Amino acid sequence: MSNYNQRSGSYSSNYDYILLDSLASSSYSNLFRSDLKNLKIKTKNNTECQVLYIPSYGSQPAAILVRVPVSQISQTTKLLLDVHDTSTAFGSSLTTGNEVLMFDANSDTYSNFFMNYSGLSINNDSTDGGRFLRARFVPSLDGSSPTSLFTTVASGSSLSNNRVTVARFKRIGGNVDVNDNATYHGSTMGSVMMQVDGSLTTYGIDTKVTSLNWASSNKNYLMFNGAKTLVQVSSWDAYNSGSDDEGSYKQYHIHGRVGNGFSSSSDYLEGFSRNNPTKIYDNDFAEVEISPTFYATTEFEDFNYVDLKWLLIFPSPIIGANGIPTVTVTERTKTGIRLYKGSHEYTKAYRGSTLMWDANDEDMEDTGLHIPDKIINKNWDWVF
């Protein structure tokens, strides 16, 4: 992770989380299952990391959420991908619930995760044979009910741990706001992504932009249109604290980022608010709100909607402090020593006194050293 910087603030967890969503496009993708389930992740000192396998969807690739001990994270962090035969399939070892929250429309009941309102419905999904959650804009003139997708399980995690929100959509388009620190009928401060397609508003403005509240610029097109993955990051790094008549408060450097993935080629917007003077009296994150607004078409007959496949929320100071870490995949190889007696090449490999490989001389007719896939990249002690 070559762009890693140490946070100045404290971190209250023993673990950090990194989402690897671009492995399938790496130069070694031929070694991975399409769902990445033949991969185990280890730290450099060989400690196995708990992982959550996230399936691909349409054009959106499979991903792995990795839980890494904080003590193992630095500018020179190396995660080891233990690659097994593609017929091998592991199950997720990271459970969701406490620090890691996940809603999956294929299997979860939405009323356990979101405020219920008339714009929500579960629909069958022809893409993967599962389901998706549709959240439609339904105006509420008296303000007695929500008009957007609003979580009910995400409040309470520490601001100092920062927050990463990842939402995979079957459909996202038109006019949509996403606030990763929202309170129902209350004032909030967090990272807010706003998407505007002016042609789908009553104003009829011919503009398509995506903006982030902390950024000084926006994109002059819609980053999230169709089947897309939204990645939103909020970093709160306290530089001052105190108390007054309203209670104890902190003041923060605030770092926000919104993009469509974690790879180096992902499209994103990023912004900072240095030495923000606002006194924040709440030390915990609030809820996540996804708000489709205005209309779905220029006929102005149907209100806009989003179709959600899953929503993932987890703490990550490393991502909060550094944006999207620069992660590269390289191959670690073992090179054997070729031993000859006269013209004969000995083609046996041992680990200690155990014979690990007994190659047939007939397969070694050329001068190249052939190492079967079943032992390449393993930690053998090579003796020939």
What is the CB-side half-sphere exposure of residue 285 using CA atoms within 13 A?
A: 30
Euclidean distance between CA atoms 334 and 328, whole angstroms: 20
| pLDDT over 50 (residue 357) | yes
DSSP H or E segment with residue 292? strand 287-293
Percent of the chain at pLDDT > 70 equals 79
Q: How confident is the model at residue 346 (pLDDT cuts 50, 70, 90)?
A: low
Residue 132 token pair: 């998706």
Strand partners, 132: 123
Question: pLDDT tens digit string along 130-143?
Answer: 999 999 999 888 87
Could you give the 3-state DSSP secondary structure of residue 47? Answer: coil
Q: Are strands 163-171 and 344-346 parallel, antiparallel or unpaired?
A: unpaired
User: Which residue carries 């038109």 as its tokens?
Assistant: 174
The residue to which tokens 């606030």 are assigned: 179
pTM over 0.85: no
- Per the prediction, the chain carries an average pLDDT of 83
In angstroms, the CA 173 to CA 226 distance is: 6
- Secondary structure letter of residue 317 according to DSSP: H
> Tokens 């240095």 — which residue?
274
Q: Determine contact, residues 67/15, Cβ cutoff 8 Å.
A: yes
**How confident is the model over 26-47, as pLDDT tens digits?**
778 888 899 999 999 988 788 8
As a whole number, mean pLDDT of residues 360-368 equals: 39
Rounded average pLDDT over 314-342: 60
The model's pLDDT over 207-251, given as tens digits with 9 standing for 90+, comes to: 999 999 999 999 999 999 999 999 999 989 889 999 999 999 999
Paired strand residues for 191: none
User: Predicted confidence band at 332 (pLDDT cuts at 50, 70, 90)?
Assistant: low
**How far is the C-alpha of 273 from the C-alpha of 269, rounded, in Å?**
14
Q: Which residues contact 141 (CB under 8 A, 6 or more apart)?
A: none
What pLDDT sits at residue 73? 74
Q: Is residue 20 predicted with pLDDT exceeding 60?
A: yes
